[in-house]
Structure formats: C-alpha cells, structure tokens
Amino acid sequence: MNTRIWRWFGVLSGLLLVGLLLVGLMIWQRQPHPAEAELSAASSAPAHQAGGAPIQENLLVPLSVDSVSFSPLPTPPPPGVRPPEAPPFCTFAGESTAETAPPESLLDRFVFSEPTVVLTNAIGMDIAGWLPDSQQLLIARSHPDTLEQSIETFDSQTSQLQLYAYQKNSGRPPMWSSDFKSVIYLDWEFVDQKQGIAQWDLWISPGPPENAFKVVEGLTAMSVVGVDPNGVLIRATASSESLPKLPDKTSHFFREVVLPTDPAVLIYPKSAVGTINTYTPLEFSTSRQLNGTLIALYADPYLYLLNDQTDTICEVNLGQVNKLPRWPYVTQWSPNGRYLAMITTASLPGSLVSFNELTLLDTETGKLQQLPIEGYIQEIDWASDSRHILMQVLLDQSMLPPIQRLFLLDTMSGQVSKVLPDFQVGGGTGTNFQMAWSPDGTQIAVKCPVWPTNMAIIEDRICLIAVEMKP
C-alpha cells in the first residue's frame, strides 16, 4: 500500500514539475527580447530625419546596426532617410485648379483604320520612332547571320528604306538628329576581350554606314550619363576639375550639361527595408522636355528633374506603394512639354518588377495622377493633342502568343477604350520599341508579327494604322 502511495506521489510530483517548467517557459516567452524591445521602442517613437525634420511616418524603422562593421567607408544614412546633401524635393510654380467634374470624353471621336502590313523581316525589328515629318519611321532590323542590327529609315508613303548605320544588338534604340539629318546611336566594343571588358561609344551617321564616325569614345571615361538627340550631352562628376574635356568634334554636335551635384548624392538608400541598402542603379535613363529646359533622370528607385537653364536639380516624390517608393522605368513627355507620363512600379531595390501603373505629372502645378489600367502596360505614346495616350497592354501571358491589345486613354476624363479590340499586337522585342504615334497624329506604327498559337514568332512585321478625328 505504502509503495503504491509513493508511486502516485512520484507521478504527481513529476507532473507538477513539468507544469512549473511550462509556466516558466510561457512567462519567459512573454518577456521582450532586447532586440525586439529596441525595435518596439523605435517603432513607437516619432521618426525624424537628420537635423530634426520629420519624415513620413509610414516608413519602416531599420534595425540598429551600430555594432556591425561592414566597411571603412563613411556610414550611410539609414534606409529611407534622405541625407541633408540630397537635392531638394521639386516645387512647382503653378497652382492646382479647384476640383471640378471631369470634362466630356473625346474617345468616341477617334477613328482607326484596319492595320496594313508595310514591312516584314525574318527575325526581330525595333520601332525607334517617327521622324518629325510624320512620314519616315526610324527602325532597327536584326539579321539572322550576324549580331548586328541595321539602322534604317522607312518611308511610309514610298516604302523606301535608307540605310544609315550598323549597330551591335544592344537593346538601345537609335535616335534621330533633326539638326544634322543623322542617326545617333550607342555601340559597344571590347577593351579586353579575354576579360570580357567592353566600353560604350557614341556614334553619329548621316548615312550610309561607311560615313559613320565615333563622337565620344568611352562614355564612362568621359563621365557621360545621358544623350539627348536634340544635341545635349549630360555629364556628371564629383568634381568639375576632374571632368575630361570633350573633343572638338564632340562639341560641334553636342552641347554639354553638367549635373550640378555629385552623382553619388543622387543614389542615397531610399527604400525603408530592415537591412542596409547596398543596391545602386547601374545607370540613369534620361528624357528631355520637348522644346523646354527640363530633363528627367530616372532609375530604380529615383526620379529627378534637371533644369539645364537654371543649372538646378530636384527630386520628384512619387509617393509609395505598400511602403515602397514608387519609381518610373519608362517616361515620355507630352508634345506641349507640360506633362510627364510614366510607367511606374514599386519594388525592393534591384528586384524584378511584379506590377506597373500609369502615372502622370503636371510640371506646371505638380499634380500627380495614378490612372487605373487593367493589365500590364508595356508601351505608351502621346497623341499630338497632349491629352490622349496610346498604350500597349499585356492582358494574359499564360499562353503563346500572349494576349496584347492597344488602349486609348483620355487623361482629362480618365476614361479608357480599346483600339481595334481583336487586333493582336506586339512581340519579339523589348519594352518601348514596339509602337509609335506620328507627330501629326495621323499614323500609328505597331509591331504585328506572325505568331502561331503555342509556337515561336515565324515572321516579324510592322503594321500601320491610319487615324482620323471626327468633328
């Protein structure tokens, strides 16, 4: 009997001990760890920039890394906090008008003809854009037996092709210089082929190819960060004293604009993520305001406006999506120079783009619009009236060919309509090379390849669509 009592007492003692251990574990888990307590305190405290200026409260607060030594370089600002030396945010002189009912849509006044095939090629073709005469189209055609593309103009009335230059396949479209009736293009060459080291050079050609000549050798060595077909080279350097002098032949074709700040200041760690942001963009893209003084410089995740008349630069705050900065990877100025249309996204630094949207900036008032578009926007181009935007949109990529259609947006009314709803467009090339609306608004050039279901493209083609505006 006593043996049984002691056995039961031992079992109960064991259960009691296990219970006490579980209670202690639960109490311990409820206590904040030092790192969690630090993060909780930081999250509940008001966020401030260096110098005491408040920042956006919805930014994530990074974990403390004071005890970690990454490099002997100066300590960068915390992710998401603008350093004091960063360019100021842009301000705009005009005033936003009072909110009124949107104007009547003009979409039903557009009449689009059935597409006509005007040019074919065995493999890829790129549409670089229309020349100012709205008759000739600048294109780049690939060739199956070489790594080069031929840069040509195509006359939409006579179907005549004129060859200007050859360019290695690079994904960089050629540009047209109206002043010199020549093509401007970037091309690369090996500096050390064994090591795979190459450099980018700037070329200009009045045609034919044997008349092409190199304008700038080694864009990086010459600190060139942007090329404008209207005759402007954008250069950047930490010190003007270290900026190499442009050759005389370059100065004959291009005017020099130097960024008024150290380019390193432009790439501060902007994304508010929980680790030090070591990503920096490979380069900035540029687009110049038509007949104006503003130049957009953009890269992941930045947008700056450079005024080459006042020699000033400012940053455009495009807001956030899910606490990540919104940034553009395609920009296009309206013909009147007032609006900057952008294909924008928001992503972790250097990561793949998972969605996009159309953003419109009014550079007179500073008003920003995010215009709702269903699908994935691939191309945009302004109508000549600076009100309507033509878009090529990917609707479904689960099959071959992916379903891509043209849409027309009225930026004032916010309404969208399909253009030729059953017409399949695009394919076989990169973003921003697949369509173009002529400056006079009468023709649209668009890629329309032969692309059988569940097969690869068997012939690349360019189609023209005539456009009329009903009264």
**CATH code that applies to domain 108-469:** 2.120.10.30
Q: Please state whether 239 falls in left (phi above 0), alpha (psi between -120 and 50) or beta.
A: beta
Give the span between the Cα atoms of 28 and 306, in whole angstroms.
56
Both structure tokens of 255: 């005017």
Whether omega for the bond prior to residue 115 falls within 30 degrees of 0, making it cis, is no
Q: Which residues pair with 199 in a beta bridge?
A: 189
Q: Give the alpha-carbon dihedral of 445, 446, 451, 454, to 10 degrees.
A: 180
Whether pLDDT at 181 is above 90? yes
- Burial of 199 (C-beta count, 10 Å sphere; 0-12/13-18/19+): middle
Taken as a whole, the chain contains a residue count of 471
- pTM listed for this prediction: 0.79
pLDDT, residue 3, reads: 40
Phi, psi (rounded to 5 degrees) for 190: -75, 135
Cβ atoms of 227 and 178 within 8 Å: the answer is no
pLDDT tens digit string along 321-337? 888 889 999 999 999 99
Q: What tokens appear for 263 in the block?
A: 């380019």
For 129: left if phi > 0, alpha if psi spans -120 to 50, otherwise beta; the answer is: left
CA angle 188-173-364, nearest 5°?
Answer: 125
Helix, strand, coil percentages (3-state) for the chain, rounded to 5, are 15, 40, 50
Q: Which residues contact 349 (CB under 8 A, 6 or more apart)?
A: 270, 271, 273, 277, 279, 300, 301
Q: Give the pairing type, strands 376-382 and 388-396.
A: antiparallel
Pairing of strands 136-142, 148-155: antiparallel
Domain boundaries, the chain: 108-469
Q: What does DSSP say about strands 294-299 and 110-112: parallel, antiparallel, or unpaired? A: unpaired
Highest mean pLDDT among 6-10, 217-221, 280-284, 339-343 belongs to: 339-343
Asked whether 462 and 445 are in contact (CB, 8 A), the reply is: yes
**Strands of 281-402, DSSP E:** 285-288, 294-299, 302-307, 312-315, 320-321, 324-333, 339-346, 357-362, 368-371, 376-382, 388-396
Q: For residue 117, count other CB atoms closer than 10 A to its CB.
A: 12
Question: Tell me: the pLDDT tens digits for 232-250?
Answer: 888 888 766 678 888 888 9
Comparing 195 with 423, which gets the higher pLDDT?
A: 423
Q: What is the pLDDT of residues 63-101, one digit of tens each?
A: 222 222 223 334 455 556 778 888 999 999 876 665 666
Measured CA to CA, the distance from residue 207 to residue 181 in angstroms comes to 9
Q: How far is CA 386 from CA 112, 335, 340, 440, in A?
A: 18, 6, 10, 12
Instruction: Confirm if 235 and 224 have CB atoms less than 8 A apart.
Output: yes
Q: Does the structure show a pLDDT above 60 at 10?
A: no
Lowest mean pLDDT among 64-68, 251-255, 265-269, 362-366: 64-68
Would you give the DSSP letter of residue 78? P
pLDDT given at position 63: 24
**Could you tell me the two tokens for 181?**
């009736």
Pairing of strands 125-130, 161-168: unpaired
Mean pLDDT of the chain: 79
Write the CB contacts of 252 (distance below 8 Å, at least 6 apart in sequence).
none
From residue 165, how far is each of 105, 139, 144, 229 by CA, in Å?
44, 11, 17, 16
Cβ(154)–Cβ(136) below 8 Å = yes
- Give me the residues paired with residue 167 across strands: 149
Is 23's pLDDT higher than 70?
Answer: no
The residue with greater pLDDT, 405 or 144, is 405
Say if residue 55's pLDDT is above 60.
no
Q: Phi, psi (5° rounding) for residue 413? A: -90, -20
What SS3 state is found at 434?
A: coil
Q: Which of 281-285, 350-354, 423-427 has the highest mean pLDDT?
A: 423-427
